[in-house]
Amino acid sequence: MGSTATVATRILGLDPGLRITGFGLIDQLGSQLRYVASGCIRTADGELPGRLKTLLDGVREVIATWQPDVVAVEKVFVNVNPQSTLLLGQARGAVICGAVSCDLAVSEYTALQVKQSVVGYGKAAKEQVQHMVQRLLALDASPGPDAADALACAICHAHGAHGLGARAGTRRRAGRLLG
Amino acid sequence: MGSTATVATRILGLDPGLRITGFGLIDQLGSQLRYVASGCIRTADGELPGRLKTLLDGVREVIATWQPDVVAVEKVFVNVNPQSTLLLGQARGAVICGAVSCDLAVSEYTALQVKQSVVGYGKAAKEQVQHMVQRLLALDASPGPDAADALACAICHAHGAHGLGARAGTRRRAGRLLG
C-alpha cells in the first residue's frame, strides 16, 4: 500500500481539559508518521473567563508556532457530575475556538476511536496508549499522559485519513504503518 | 443616590445557547440605563466546530459593531441530559471566547441573580423578565425572549456595578432606578 504523497500533512492533536489541555503535532507523509512536538497548556485557578482565554490563546500560539494543516480533537467524556461536564464543555469550546479562529478544519474523535486506532483496543489503559504512541512515533521516551492522548488523537486522524488503522489489523513498526 | 459619572458604560449582555445566543447592549450612566441594541446569533445544524465558529465570530462582530466596555454572561443551567449539558458548555465556551479574545472583562451571573435583579424574584417566568426589561429600558415593544434574557443580564450587571438592585427593594421606573 504505497503512498504517492510528497508533501507532509501536519496534524495537531488536542486533548481538552480546563486545567490541562494536551497538544501533540505529527507530520504524516503517506503511511509515514513523524513526531514534531508536544506539550500542555495549563491554566491557573481563577475566574472561568480568564482560564478560557488562556486555553484560546494557548491553542492559537501552538498553531502560530507549528503551523498545522488540520486539527483533531478528542471528544470528552460526559461526567457523572453535571457541573464538571459543564466546565469541561466550556474548556473544549475554547480549545476548538482556538483552532477554528485560525481557519483550520477540526475533526472530532471519541476516546474509543482513538484507542482503537492506536492500541487496537477501545478500552486500553492510559499506559498502553502512552506506550504505543512512543512506539509509533519512535520516541526515545514516553510522552506525558496529556501529550500522549493528544498525539494519539493526531495519529487516529492520520490513520483515518490514510485509510489504515488498527481495526484492519495492520502491523506497525515505530513511526510507520506496514500495510 | 446621585451619580457623578459623565461617561456612559456600555454593557453587552449575552445569553449563550448552541442554536440561539441572545445579545443585548445597554448604556449605563450613573443610575440611568439606555437601550442600545439587541438580537440573536443563530447557528445552522451541522458539525460542532463550525457552529462554535459561528458563535465566536458572531460575538466578535457584535463587539466590533457596538464597542461595549464590559460583558455580562448568563451562567447556564446544567441539564438533566449530560450530552446537552456538554453541548451547552461548549457553546458557552465559544461565546466567552468571543468576548475575551477582544480583551473585554467578562462577569458571570446565574439566572437566579438576573431575575432577582430585574424582576425582584428569582423564580420569575420568562414573560415577567421580558416585561420588566421592556419597562426598565422604556422600549415600545417587548424584546424577543433570547434578546430579553441577554438585556436582563446586562441590566443585572449595571445594577451590581451601581450598587443598586432589586434585593435592596429599590423602586424603579422605566429605564431608571430610583434609589
CB contact under 8 A, A53 and B92: no
Q: What is the mean pLDDT of residues B83-95?
A: 94
The answer for residues whose C-beta is within 8 angstroms of residue A136's C-beta and 6 or more apart is A33, A118, A155, A172, A174, A175
Specify burial of residue B147 (Cβ count, 10 A radius: 0-12, 13-18, 19+).
buried
Predicted confidence band at B4 (pLDDT cuts at 50, 70, 90)? low
Cβ A90–B87 below 8 Å, yes or no? no
The residues of B carrying an active-site annotation are: 15, 74, 146
A45 catalytic? Reply is: no
pLDDT at A1 (0 to 100): 47
* Contact assessment for residue A108 and residue A153, using Cβ atoms and an 8 Å cutoff: no
| Closest CB from B49, B78, B108 relative to A48 | B108
Report how far Cα A60 is from the mean position of its chain's Cα atoms. 15
The yes-or-no verdict on residue B173 having pLDDT over 50 is: no
DSSP letters of chain B?
A: ------SPEEEEEEE--SSEEEEEEEEEETTEEEEEEEEEEE--SS-HHHHHHHHHHHHHHHHHHH--SEEEEEPPPPPSSHHHHHHHHHHHHHHHHHHHTTT--EEEE-HHHHHHHHTS-TT--HHHHHHHHHHHTT-SSPPPHHHHHHHHHHHHHHHHHHT--GGGT-EEETTEEE-
- Asked if B108's CB is within 8 angstroms of A52's CB, the reply is no
Q: Which residues of B touch A106 (CB under 8 A)?
A: 49
Question: What distance in Å separates the CA atoms of residue B34 and residue B175, rounded to the nearest whole number?
Answer: 6
Q: What is the pLDDT of residue B171?
A: 36
Q: What pLDDT score does A12 carry?
A: 98
pLDDT recorded at residue B118 = 93
ipTM of the complex: 0.82
> Is there a binding annotation on residue B74?
yes
Cβ–Cβ below 8 Å for B78 and A101: no
Q: In chain B, pLDDT over 70 holds for what percent of residues?
A: 87
- Which pLDDT value is given to residue A15? 95
Please indicate whether, in this complex, the C-beta atoms of B89 and A94 are within 8 angstroms of each other. no
The pLDDT assigned to B176 comes to: 37
Label residue B76 by pLDDT band (50, 70, 90).
confident
d(CA B37, CA A16): 35
Q: Which residues from A are below 8 Å from B56, CB to CB?
A: 97, 100-101
**pLDDT above 50: residue B169:** no
Residue B138: CB atoms within 10 Å:
13
What are the chain A neighbours of B96 within 8 Å (beta carbons)? 48-49, 52, 90, 94
Q: 3-state DSSP call for residue A9?
A: strand
What are the backbone dihedrals phi and psi of residue A140, each rounded to the nearest 5 degrees, phi first? -70, -35
Amino acid at the residue B23:
F
Q: Is pLDDT larger for residue B146 or for residue A9?
A: A9
Question: In CATH, which superfamily holds the domain spanning B7-165?
Answer: Ribonuclease H-like superfamily/Ribonuclease H (3.30.420.10)
The pLDDT value given to residue B177: 35
Q: What is the Cα–Cα distance from B109 to B153, expressed in whole angstroms?
A: 7
| Phi/psi of residue B153, nearest 5 degrees | -65, -40
Q: Is B61 annotated as a binding residue?
A: no
The structure's pTM equals 0.85
What is the rounded distance in angstroms from the CA atom of residue B174 to the CA atom of residue B152? 14
Q: Between residues 9 and 38 of chain A, which touch chain B (CB distance below 8 Å)? A: none
Residues of B in contact with A86 (CB under 8 A): 76, 78, 85-86, 88-89, 92
Let me know if A146 is a catalytic residue: yes
End-to-end Cα distance, chain B: 6
**Of B49, B89, B106, which has the smallest distance from its Cβ to A89's Cβ?**
B89
The mean predicted confidence, pLDDT, of chain B is 87
Does A110 contact chain B (CB < 8 Å)? no
The per-residue pLDDT for A169 is: 35
CA distance A148 to B110: 37
Examine the pLDDT at B1 and tell me if it is beyond 70: no
Q: How far apart are CA A50 and CA A114, in angstroms?
A: 30
Tell me the pLDDT tens digit for each residue of B15-40.
999 999 999 999 999 889 999 999 99
CB contact under 8 A, A97 and B50: no
Q: Taking the alpha carbons of B103, A84, B78, B167 in that order, is the dihedral positive or negative?
A: negative
Average pLDDT per block of 10 residues along chain A, 179 residues long? 71 96 96 95 95 98 98 85 91 98 96 92 89 95 90 95 42 35
Q: Is the pLDDT of residue B163 over 50?
A: no
The ranges assigned to domains in chain B are: 7-165
